[in-house]
Amino acid sequence: AQKVTQAQTEISVVEKEDVTLDCVYETRDTTYYLFWYKQPPSGELVFLIRRNSFDEQNEISGRYSWNFQKSTSSFNFTITASQVVDSAVYFCALSEDDYKLSFGAGTTVTVRA
Amino acid sequence: ETGVTQTPRHLVMGMTNKKSLKCEQHLGHNAMYWYKQSAKKPLELMFVYNFKEQTENNSVPSRFSPECPNSSHLFLHLHTLQPEDSALYLCASSQEGGAGNTIYFGEGSWLTVV
């Protein structure tokens, strides 16, 4: 069964628009970790954020913000005032009781000038 | 500069060739990973090494053979591959191989099997 669901396959926005990427996860563990990664066309997966299950505070880093809601098993990611350099595939991932990362299928974001 | 470097970045090989992918991490980590990313498929974990010991082989065919001589280097030896093995192969590392450790990825090696 898919542990991480990213329902949006592709999102296209115009520069300066905000874009929100959805991530829904499934786990029976009480301790787990959630991640977001960015993959530009070059291929490298760039780490963006790590959040443990006991920290439900939302986080903001520059134009990026994350909304973690355990009640709905969601860990959504918002890019504010998007830029062309934000064009990439974004992956949400879940780590449970071991070192394995379960990745979602990814959301392709295209920001048009 | 990325903390995890992979060479070559691009590789085209025939089905009877033998080649190797190389990965080096400069982060002082103790765990290293190989992931495979195929078109339209989620990232798949292939192998995990923790303190140079292989701790995970995710049912990978024997035509893929990993080697970890030390905590900083990881190889993936390729032999008699199939066209369906064409993919992006990503190396990664983390401080340790435990739950919740942040995994840092390299830029990947794009492999095409002809």
Helix (H, G, I), strand (E, B) or coil at B83: helix
Identify all chain A residues contacting B90, using CB atoms and an 8 Å cutoff.
43, 45
List the single best residue of A45, A51, A107 to mutate versus B (max B Cβ within 10 A): A45
Q: Residues A18-73: pLDDT tens digits?
A: 999 999 999 999 999 999 999 999 889 999 999 999 988 888 899 999 999 999 99
* Interchain proximity A45–B94, CB inside 8 Å: no
- A 71-110 residues with CB < 8 A to B: 91, 95-101, 103-106
What one-character-per-residue DSSP string does A43-102 give? -PPEEEEEEETT----EEETTEEEEEEGGGTEEEEEESS--GGG-EEEEEEEE-SSSPEE
pLDDT tens track of chain B, all 114 residues?
579 999 999 999 999 999 999 999 999 999 999 999 998 788 999 999 999 998 888 889 999 999 999 999 999 999 999 999 999 999 999 998 777 889 999 999 999 999
List the single best residue of B23, B32, B43 to mutate versus A (max A Cβ within 10 A): B43
Beta carbons of B5 and B106 less than 8 angstroms apart: yes
- The one-letter amino acid code at A73 reads S
User: What pLDDT is recorded for position B79?
Assistant: 94
The region that residue B100 occupies, defined by phi over 0 for left and psi between -120 and 50 for alpha, beta otherwise, is left
Query: Distance (Å, rounded) from C-alpha B16 to C-alpha B113?
Result: 10
Paired tokens of A49: 């954020």
**Interface A-B: count of C-beta contacts within 8 A:** 59
Cα atoms found within 13 Å of the Cα of residue A113, Cβ hemisphere only: 2
